[in-house]
Structure 1
Amino acid sequence: MKIIDPHIHLFDMENGDYQWLKPESGPFWPDKDKIARSFDESALSLSKPMQLKGFVHIEAGYDNQKPWRELQYLENSCEVAFKSIAMLDITMPHQLFLQQFELLACNPSFVGVRYILEDVNDDFFSQSHVLENLKHLGNKKVIFELQFPFERTALVDEIINLLNEYPDFKMAICHGGFAPTSSQAKQIWRKNVAKIAKFKHVIIKCSGQEMLSTTHRHIDATRFQVHIDECISLFSDERVLLASNFPLISLAMPYSNYWQMLANMYAKQPKLWSKLSIENALNFYFH
């Protein structure tokens, strides 16, 4: 049972910045101190017969001013096959953006960029240099990771406009687009996710369940499987990826237990399990 985990974070607290992990900085989670330490790839341990064959590292704030330093740290320290999604500030003036992009592109593991959109205003994409920077990513055929609640219709519609112009722009929806639990908000989420699912170069990663509540980290396996199956109904079984969000998943359960929970969900569907746990991640990030 080979696995590629397409959404993990590693921390090197001695050499990195990680401003967000410091107690004086947000997010102000009551249990943030439990993950405010170094994690290397040896922490990604699975119980047999599962075996980690690779991972996708999502930027974790090692050095947001010089984001290529995080990729260099990873490439000098990791032995498992991996790809990197780097931090790159898409609000920078275009020429500075291009300079930083080229420094990232020099690193063999680099495949894409994440800029968290959770706190931006609805008119964020009306800034001409933001669109210019994003279009550069589309032209270069690198991945843009979408991290924001998909209830935010205005932001989704701006992404749709971009995809209409660049229909083969590769995008990944992080944490299932933060599917809400209330029925009214869930209807909005589903409508917006369905709109973007029509674009064949967009995938969705099912993870981040431990982020739905900062005071109750428990993951309900039944509810999570309903969410995964709903994503499959929208994206097909070719464009849904299971992921862990390590080390944040450890706030809810051990890493190996999480993957065992997922394996149990699809124990009677081995072909589907293979797609969700390795094949789709391999096709999207490694090919």
Structure 2
Amino acid sequence: MIVDAHQHFWDLETGEYPWLTPDSGVLYRTYGPEDLVPELRTVGVDRTVLVQAADSYAETDALLAHADAHPFIAGVVGWIDLTDPAEAAAALDRYRTRPKFVGVRHLIHDEPDPDWLVREGVLESLGLLAAAGLPFDVVSLLPRHLDHVVTVAERHPGLKLVVDHLSKPRIKDHAWEPWATQIAAAAACPNVFAKVSGLVTEADHERWTVEDLRPYVEYAVERFGPERLMFGSDWPVALLAADYATVWHVTHALLGGPGAEQVFGGTAVRFYGLDQEIHPPS
């Protein structure tokens, strides 16, 4: 089973996405299953993991409704309020009855506080995720975010964490440090995984090449191994730099060797606890 472990939908008429503005170009429109299904069919992706793009229960509920209506969506990474452990516990009680609720994410990179992830209330709520067997997606941007991944991983060794987009290395600038040292420190924690996703949008949108991406991907393979890496398209955000098929073919060119079956499906199935039935996109 081939899994795209990171894609989004949003509806500008019913949802609120503060980061989406008329200046967002191709992203400033509604994207739904009908837009993605032809892309999945073209490249042969069987299932996807649908990831939240707004910090709201309304967003989580909308994504779960999509998942209920479309079997190709294997799981939803939704949002709950992690700042209040009591509220987080109540939300987990609600959502754990939904089989396709497979993880939690918060847009920490949009938080003014760079230390949001290590607030005591958030850390306590992350412990609740660990107890519930639900993983946490970390959308990190600042170097301190990766430092905090290590803090969380060590405090909650039973919590599975995945660093989205390899923590957004500055590919356009061909920058290596401090990203390399910090991603290696995160990878040294056995409960930390990473998504090879969102890289084309960290490169030069107009002039990126496969070789621009290669050193970052190869380093991730060296540090995490294929058994802790998973492919994600980051569609439709990726459209800022490339279409779905291009992202797929480039990632496969970089990761299509030994262990490819893990990166393109097996890791996501294990990490999120996805069922392994194949439901062709329709």
Structure 1 CA distance for aligned equivalents of residues 118 and 167 of structure 2: 22
Q: Which amino acid aligns with 1:142?
A: L
User: Measured at CA, do residues 98 and 266 of structure 1 come closer, stay the same or move farther in structure 2, by a change above 3 Å?
Assistant: closer
* Secondary structure of 1:260's aligned partner: helix
> CA shift at 1:48, angstroms?
7.2
Given the two structures, how large is their TM-score scaled by the length of structure 2? 0.84
CA contact (8 A) 2:82 2:88 kept: yes
Whether 1:110 aligns to 2:101 is yes
Structure 2 CA distance for aligned equivalents of residues 255 and 168 of structure 1: 34
| Alignment counterpart, residue 195 of structure 1, candidates 185, 200, 205 | 185
> CA shift at 1:115, angstroms?
0.9
User: Measured at CA, do residues 143 and 46 of structure 1 come closer, stay the same or move farther in structure 2, by a change above 3 Å?
Assistant: same
Alignment match, 2:260 = 273
Whether 1:180 aligns to 2:180 is no
Alignment match, 2:219 = 230
Alignment match, 2:49 = 56
Residue segments in structure 1 that go unaligned for 5+ positions in a row: 24-29
Where does 1:65-80 land on structure 2 (aligned, <5 Å)? 65-80=57-72
The alignment-based identity, stated in percent, is 21
Q: Which amino acid aligns with 2:51?
A: I
Superposed structure 1 runs of 4+ greater than 6 Å apart: none
Where does 1:1-287 land on structure 2 (aligned, <5 Å)? 3-23=2-22, 30=23, 32-44=24-36, 45-46=38-39, 50-61=43-54, 64-91=56-83, 93-118=84-109, 119-125=111-117, 127-149=119-141, 151-152=143-144, 155-181=145-171, 186-212=176-202, 216-266=205-255, 269=257, 271-287=258-274
CA contact (8 A) 1:168 1:201 kept: yes
User: Measured at CA, do residues 131 and 47 of structure 1 come closer, stay the same or move farther in structure 2, by a change above 3 Å?
Assistant: closer
User: Measured at CA, do residues 126 and 42 of structure 1 come closer, stay the same or move farther in structure 2, by a change above 3 Å?
Assistant: closer
- Aligned-residue CA RMSD (Å): 2.6
Structure 2 CA distance for aligned equivalents of residues 157 and 13 of structure 1: 34
After TM superposition, the structure 1 stretch with the greater mean CA deviation from structure 2, 167-176 or 193-202, is 193-202
Structure 2 CA distance for aligned equivalents of residues 127 and 227 of structure 1: 30
> CA shift at 1:52, angstroms?
1.5
Structure 2 CA distance for aligned equivalents of residues 122 and 40 of structure 1: 32
> CA shift at 1:116, angstroms?
1.8
Structure 2 CA distance for aligned equivalents of residues 236 and 202 of structure 1: 11
* Secondary structure of 2:76's aligned partner: strand
User: Measured at CA, do residues 252 and 238 of structure 1 come closer, stay the same or move farther in structure 2, by a change above 3 Å?
Assistant: same
Given the two structures, how large is their TM-score scaled by the length of structure 1? 0.83
Structure 1 CA distance for aligned equivalents of residues 81 and 207 of structure 2: 33
CA contact (8 A) 2:201 2:241 kept: no
Structure 1 CA distance for aligned equivalents of residues 29 and 242 of structure 2: 17
CA contact (8 A) 1:150 1:179 kept: no
Structure 2 CA distance for aligned equivalents of residues 33 and 71 of structure 1: 23
In the comparison of the two structures, how many residue pairs are matched? Answer: 271
CA contact (8 A) 1:9 1:245 kept: yes
Structure 2 CA distance for aligned equivalents of residues 127 and 266 of structure 1: 36
User: Measured at CA, do residues 69 and 123 of structure 1 come closer, stay the same or move farther in structure 2, by a change above 3 Å?
Assistant: closer
Structure 1 CA distance for aligned equivalents of residues 93 and 21 of structure 2: 30
Structure 2 CA distance for aligned equivalents of residues 49 and 75 of structure 1: 21
> CA shift at 1:65, angstroms?
4.4
| 1:17-63 Cα distance to aligned partner (Å, 9 max, x none) | 3343243xxxxxx4x142222222233334877311111111022x7
Which structure is higher in RCO with an 8 Å CA cutoff and minimum separation 6?
Answer: 2
Alignment match, 1:27 = none
Alignment match, 1:26 = none
Structure 2 CA distance for aligned equivalents of residues 106 and 256 of structure 1: 35
Structure 2 CA distance for aligned equivalents of residues 193 and 36 of structure 1: 32
